[in-house]
């Protein structure tokens, strides 16, 4: 692992100032201004067992205030929503570690800070944010890349952190400054390439106006349907990033309340489409729906 400068690297993620011993090119960099950091990422030993933890699966252990992830390349400990310790194996590179650090570990940190992480990409539009939520492979990143090519700002790819209790309504917080895409015709097992987002907003927040839940096994041609009430809440709960971690922390009721706020304050739609339609037909349908 690289050591960085004496004070480490200063980045932004999910509306937070992150001081990291590991350079994170996927995150926007911040200029040193003497301000305090919200999160510290450091290298150090992580015990094999997290005391008092519940095993979510063989790789994850959870308590109310701490989380631990073990993968073949190393261990990650997340505590109090403020600290992440990375314990790499000797042969692990920075590039090997970053997907776990910026994915599951950051998702756990969001849950610890009572943010709502959605499995979603998001763009900025007319002073607000629009999210595209869905399972892996549904086309979230492809849609983000499409709208980036049309001059829209991209706020997040894969993980969107939402402050459901934000002033004036739910707020979308900027995430990673990259879009991960798999080459056309590439196998699902092949790694995705990263497309940097130029001009990505580092800090700040955008009112979350709309959420589109992508359902790639549905209609041909694509169909957009408004969801309300219990249907909207259920659709949002199904898109919570790393739900088992939050449930083991005891955050299930709080997540329900947060999704209820989103269902009441945002427009929620289901987008049903045949996956063969993606990306062009789906992008055109959503482009038209956004300006309708």
DSSP labels, 178-228: EEEEPPTT--TTSPPEEEE-TT---S--EEEEEEEEEETBS-SS-EEEEE-
Phi, psi of 55 (to 5 degrees): -85, 110
CA 157 to chain CA centroid, nearest Å: 6
Q: What is the mean pLDDT of residues 19-47?
A: 94
Is 187 exposed, middle or buried, given 0-12, 13-18 or 19+ CB atoms closer than 10 A? exposed
User: Is the per-residue pLDDT at 187 higher than 70?
Assistant: no
Q: How many CB atoms lie within 10 A of CB 147?
A: 23
Q: At what angle do helices 140-149 and 280-291 cross, to 10 degrees?
A: 60
Output the pLDDT for position 94: 93
Share above pLDDT 90 across residues of the chain, in percent, rounded to a whole number: 66
Q: Which residue has the higher pLDDT, 144 or 117?
A: 117
- Per residue in 131-183, pLDDT (tens digit) is 999 988 888 988 988 888 888 889 998 899 999 987 789 999 998 878 877 55
pLDDT at 198 over 70: no
6 pLDDT above the threshold of 60: no
pTM over 0.75: yes
123-138: b (≥16 Cβ within 10 Å) or e: bbbeebbbbbbbeeeb
Smallest Cα–Cα separation from 131: which of 140, 139, 122?
A: 122
Residue 3 has pLDDT above 50, yes or no: no
Residue 118 has pLDDT above 90, yes or no: yes
Question: Between 25 and 219, where is the model more confident?
Answer: 25
Q: Tens digits of per-residue pLDDT, 7-28?
A: 799 999 999 999 999 999 988 8
How far apart (Å, rounded) are the C-alpha atoms in residues 140 and 3? 34
The tens digit of pLDDT for each residue in 77-112 reads 999 999 999 999 999 999 999 999 999 999 999 999
What is the reported pLDDT for 4? 42
Instruction: Please compute the mean of the pLDDT values over residues 114-132 and round it to a whole number.
Output: 93
Is the CB of residue 177 less than 8 Å from the CB of residue 235?
Answer: no
- Residues with Cβ < 8 Å from 193, sequence gap 6 or more? 180, 181, 182, 183
Contact in structure between 275 and 216 (CB atoms under 8 Å): yes
Q: What is the mean pLDDT of residues 212-222?
A: 84
- What is the pLDDT, as a whole number, of residue 281? 81
Q: What are 44-70's pLDDT values in tens digits?
A: 999 999 999 999 999 999 999 999 999
pLDDT at 275: 66
β-pairing verdict for 128-133 and 153-156: unpaired
* Structural domains of the chain sorted by starting position, each given as residue range(s) with its CATH number in brackets: 9-112 (no CATH), 116-291 (3.40.50.300)
Alpha-carbon distances of 67 from 22, 62, 176, rounded to whole Å:
20, 5, 21
Of 10-19, 120-129, 179-188, 234-243, which range is least confident?
Answer: 179-188
Which pLDDT does position 278 carry in this prediction?
A: 55
CA distance 21 to 114: 25
């Amino acid at each position: 692992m690289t050591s960085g400068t004496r004070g480490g690297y200063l980045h932004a993620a999910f509306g937070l100032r992150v001081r990291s011993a590991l350079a994170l090119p996927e995150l926007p960099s911040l200029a040193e201004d003497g301000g305090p950091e919200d999160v510290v990422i450091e290298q150090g030993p992580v015990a094999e067992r997290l005391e008092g933890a519940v095993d979510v699966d063989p790789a994850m252990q959870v308590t109310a205030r701490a989380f631990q992830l073990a993968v073949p390349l190393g261990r990650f400990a997340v505590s109090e929503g403020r600290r992440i310790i990375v314990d790499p194996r000797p042969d692990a590179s920075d590039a090997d570690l970053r997907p776990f650090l910026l994915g599951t570990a950051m998702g756990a940190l969001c849950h610890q800070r009572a943010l709502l992480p959605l499995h979603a990409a998001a763009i900025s539009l007319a002073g607000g944010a629009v999210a595209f939520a869905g399972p892996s492979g549904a086309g979230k990143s492809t849609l983000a890349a499409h709208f980036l090519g049309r001059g829209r700002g991209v706020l997040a790819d894969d993980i969107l952190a939402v402050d459901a209790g934000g002033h004036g309504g739910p707020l979308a917080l900027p995430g990673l400054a990259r879009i991960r895409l798999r080459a056309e015709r590439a196998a699902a097992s092949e790694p995705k390439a990263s497309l940097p987002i130029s001009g990505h907003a580092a800090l700040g927040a955008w009112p979350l106006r709309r959420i589109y839940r992508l359902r790639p096994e549905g209609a041909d041609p694509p169909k957009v349907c408004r969801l309300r009430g219990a249907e909207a809440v259920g659709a949002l709960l199904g898109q919570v990033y790393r739900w088992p971690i939050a449930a083991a922390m005891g955050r299930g009721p709080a997540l329900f309340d947060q999704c209820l706020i989103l269902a009441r304050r945002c427009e929620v739609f289901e987008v049903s489409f045949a996956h063969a339609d993606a990306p062009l037909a789906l992008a055109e349908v959503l482009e038209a729906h956004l300006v309708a």
